[in-house]
Structure 1
């Protein structure tokens, strides 16, 4: 009887297999194939919309902590606190999450039906498990095909994004660099005197106070790259423009010095930056020269239709003091020797062309002292410099006229340092710090022309200054100046004259070469 029962069960099972199970298996396999592909599409959709808690997301904290691939220039310290570009980081995490999730789903498709069948002792009705096996195989094939398809699409889109993105990034960075080269634009700090091609930018979005303290709100490298090509999203959620050209005019950003984080003037890094360091011995007439240069630049700018403004409070205060002294014909107070100088800045605008003109005045003691002038970093970044020589400090002039015109010498208050020593102290400092003075230009200014004229002891006009210097024992200084600098122009200047015979002459000569002259 047992044998007959087994034979009957086997016959019935074969009948069920061929009549019911195999036809159902074909349908189940097809359904499983579709279901597997649908599973992949569904999981991919969940991953892409960011609704899955099991997907690891590359956050601004990860980026700021250094987990994003790629080299960061030492000047920028680390990557900024911002969301990375999708194809720079997140795409690999999403792909990994997709594969892991569909793997778990496929495993469940194979394991759970088998466990259920074993728990309910359905091994005697094995033909009915054939459609289940077919559906499991179909799901597996559908999942594999879906994953391969998704991988090919992802790889293709990613490759296209990189192929388009990299040239666009290079083009936008090149536009920034080209603009700055053509217009001589740099970010100039008034506090630490550092010069940067790429300013840091403080995000004005909803940052907590702690971000202000840690600098998380500071974007040190806002150029196009892994954090965004045309735009980037700050960790606070605010969308920020990339490139220095666009960032300079964004209301969401404040330009800062990348070295000391001091706020920079509007347009820093985009407008022409003209630095005019004035150096020379104490009492050579440096401050008087700057006073007349400012007055002359302002008057000439208004005369030729160039808009002129004082962009910061320090410059406005100094301008008021200098303007009053020029009106009264009074001499300025002695420049304080404590600390590095803060530049007086003029903003000049001729149509779309804008320049920030900075005039630096340091105490003569600091300039002559080699240890002190090592702190004057503003000297290193200027393309042009102004050297002021007091003619009354020239030994031959002093020996010949000191006793014959004591009242003029008293008013002149001659510099006590030797002119060559005053020059060499600064220029040797520049060369020791690696500054290529052979690529710089120098305005060589002989000051106090109004007093020289009273004694008939000076040159007749600026063109004769070089000859006058050589005739009065300064031939070595002339040779050194013309050896050290690429271009040298000599000036005879009265610091009390706001016209071409005053500080305006050398200032306008430099301005003509670095921006645009004022006539």
Structure 2
């Protein structure tokens, strides 16, 4: 019995032990399941959410901070040296006439050039931040216990943070790139519209830039900066700015030729050919060139002097402002007043590479201002083979003025064998030679003269009248003047002129200080040439309508 009791007790104790073990295991399992369910149902979702939100916040913070601090990174900022210096930002040269000078020393547009670099830097900053944070977490997991803790508690939120950071940073970079692309496209559209508008306005109103020193026509004038010595060769809307260009010295310069020439840079206009400063406002008004050609002594200088003085006289009673454009023109105008007013003899024009010019600005109170360039080249240019080659302004002139000395024809030379005894200064060669040299120059340059207007002037009408060789010629009778020239042996010249030029008109000129109401006054000749380019120089009420 005793043995049986001991056995039963052992069984009971064992049962109790098993039950206790089962209870402990069950309790541990239940606790484990409860902890696991807490992790799965509460901790992991909450930790993942926090990781996602934290990743988004960090991505936004890193991107924003880097973009805001972009201006402080001078080594990554594009400068005028990158545009025009050794580190050329643009691989291709500027288009148009400025290609011979290269890019101006100015700051490039932010969109898209600097913006691209800032977006790249922000992307790199985000990558560095994520890499640094991951390296710190890895450095903390040095022991098995920490690895287990990281796997159980940190892996999921870390993964959620990293995924959220990468996705949201990529989204922000894409948004920035999209805005840059949209801004760039809008700028391109604005550039096209501004350039087109500027070109159309200049074409419609015949605005041009013609140098009063070298007489070249500048399709694209240059401008000197208002604060430094930099000369900007192309202020059109471009990669360097849409509405404004920013010089290397940070001066803000207006774009388009119209805005630059009529605004803050009107006193800083430079000829791109000779680098001389142009008159104020050049490029913002129409320029009329009146190039004269003819042999030595035919009266070109006196004719232009008389026309200039007559123009001032015509505008004297009116509110129109008129005056010389530069110092050289002012000096020439003073000489003209003295010569015409005192009826002195005109000094022969010096033979040099550049002609003497009278550049006059006419600014009506109503209407558009006009530049008038009266160009007087020495007669030797038109009596020597290739002598007119340096006169490049003949290529671009829309009108030409050919002056004929009637006493230089063979017929008149025979009638007056001793011109000096008759008080005459006669041209040293025949009119046909001067005409042929000039027209052949235009043809050799590949230019079509049929679209141009030619005024043919019979000068020294006062001497014709004095010596009785003017049989009551009417200045308005074209056929009579033409026939008079034919009768003097210039029939070939008359025929050629009608074939070579689209519009030809004949004039009689008396340059000895007659009234501007006299139809032979040279002022009417210049006015006709201006009318061929849609400008009427004369106030009709003062002078009367001329044909």
TM-score, normalisation: structure 2: 0.84
Please list, as runs of the form range in 1=range in 2, the aligned pairs for 1:37-52 lying within 5 A after superposition: 37-49=56-68, 50-52=70-72
Deviations 1:362-382 (A, max 9, x none): 111123223332111122221
Q: Counterpart of 1:3?
A: none
Determine the C-alpha separation between the residues in 1 that align with 2:219 and 2:31.
82
Deviations 1:261-310 (A, max 9, x none): 21111121111111111111010101011111101111112245432111
| In the alignment, structure 1 residue 474 sits paired with structure 2 residue 487 | no
Q: Point out the more displaced range, 451-460 or 159-168.
A: 159-168
Deviation at 1:188, TM superposition (A): 1.1
Higher relative contact order (CA 8 A, sep 6+): 1
Distance 1:443 1:43, change over 3 A: farther
Determine the C-alpha separation between the residues in 1 that align with 2:233 and 2:521.
41
Q: Point out the more displaced range, 246-255 or 189-198.
A: 246-255
Distance 1:381 1:111, change over 3 A: same
| In the alignment, structure 1 residue 414 sits paired with structure 2 residue 418 | no
The one of 50, 59, 78 equivalent to 1:58 is 78
The one of 141, 155, 158 equivalent to 2:180 is 158
Q: Counterpart of 2:310?
A: 296
Deviations 1:357-398 (A, max 9, x none): 011111111232233321111222211111111101111121
Q: Counterpart of 1:494?
A: 510
The one of 200, 215, 224 equivalent to 1:193 is 215
SS at match of 2:54: helix
Determine the C-alpha separation between the residues in 1 that align with 2:181 and 2:413.
77
SS at match of 1:195: coil
The one of 238, 242, 247 equivalent to 2:255 is 242
SS at match of 2:276: coil
Q: Are the aligned partners of 2:223 and 2:232 in contact in 1 as well (CA < 8 Å)?
A: yes
Determine the C-alpha separation between the residues in 2 that align with 1:194 and 1:461.
38
Please list, as runs of the form range in 1=range in 2, the aligned pairs for 1:324-473 lying within 5 A after superposition: 324-350=338-364, 351-402=366-417, 407-408=421-422, 411-458=423-470, 460-462=473-475, 463=477, 464-473=480-489
Deviation at 1:143, TM superposition (A): 2.5
Q: Counterpart of 2:240?
A: 227
Determine the C-alpha separation between the residues in 1 that align with 2:71 and 2:46.
33
Distance 1:43 1:393, change over 3 A: farther
Determine the C-alpha separation between the residues in 2 that align with 1:68 and 1:138.
43
Q: Say how many residue pairs are matched.
A: 497
Deviation at 1:103, TM superposition (A): 1.2
Distance 1:129 1:284, change over 3 A: same
Q: Counterpart of 1:270?
A: 284
Deviations 1:222-254 (A, max 9, x none): 111222222222221111211111111333561
The one of 118, 123, 126 equivalent to 1:99 is 123
Q: Are the aligned partners of 2:450 and 2:501 in contact in 1 as well (CA < 8 Å)?
A: yes
SS at match of 1:402: coil
Distance 1:476 1:203, change over 3 A: same
The one of 70, 83, 88 equivalent to 2:107 is 83
Deviations 1:407-431 (A, max 9, x none): 33xx321112121111111121122
Deviation at 1:257, TM superposition (A): 0.9
Deviations 1:24-48 (A, max 9, x none): 5444433332333233323332343
Deviation at 1:161, TM superposition (A): 2.2
Distance 1:257 1:136, change over 3 A: farther
| In the alignment, structure 1 residue 18 sits paired with structure 2 residue 36 | yes
Distance 1:130 1:17, change over 3 A: farther
Distance 1:37 1:55, change over 3 A: farther
Q: Which runs of 5+ in 1 are unaligned?
A: 1-6
Q: Point out the more displaced range, 358-367 or 135-144.
A: 135-144
Determine the C-alpha separation between the residues in 2 that align with 1:161 and 1:110.
36
Q: Are the aligned partners of 2:383 and 2:433 in contact in 1 as well (CA < 8 Å)?
A: yes
Q: Point out the more displaced range, 53-62 or 414-423.
A: 53-62
Determine the C-alpha separation between the residues in 2 that align with 1:63 and 1:308.
43
| In the alignment, structure 1 residue 30 sits paired with structure 2 residue 22 | no
Deviation at 1:12, TM superposition (A): 13
Computing the radius of gyration from Cα coordinates, the structure with the larger value is 2
CA RMSD of aligned residues (A): 2.6
Q: Are the aligned partners of 1:347 and 1:355 in contact in 2 as well (CA < 8 Å)?
A: yes
SS at match of 2:361: strand
Distance 1:311 1:11, change over 3 A: farther
Deviations 1:92-141 (A, max 9, x none): 212211111111111122222102322xx254551334443333322322
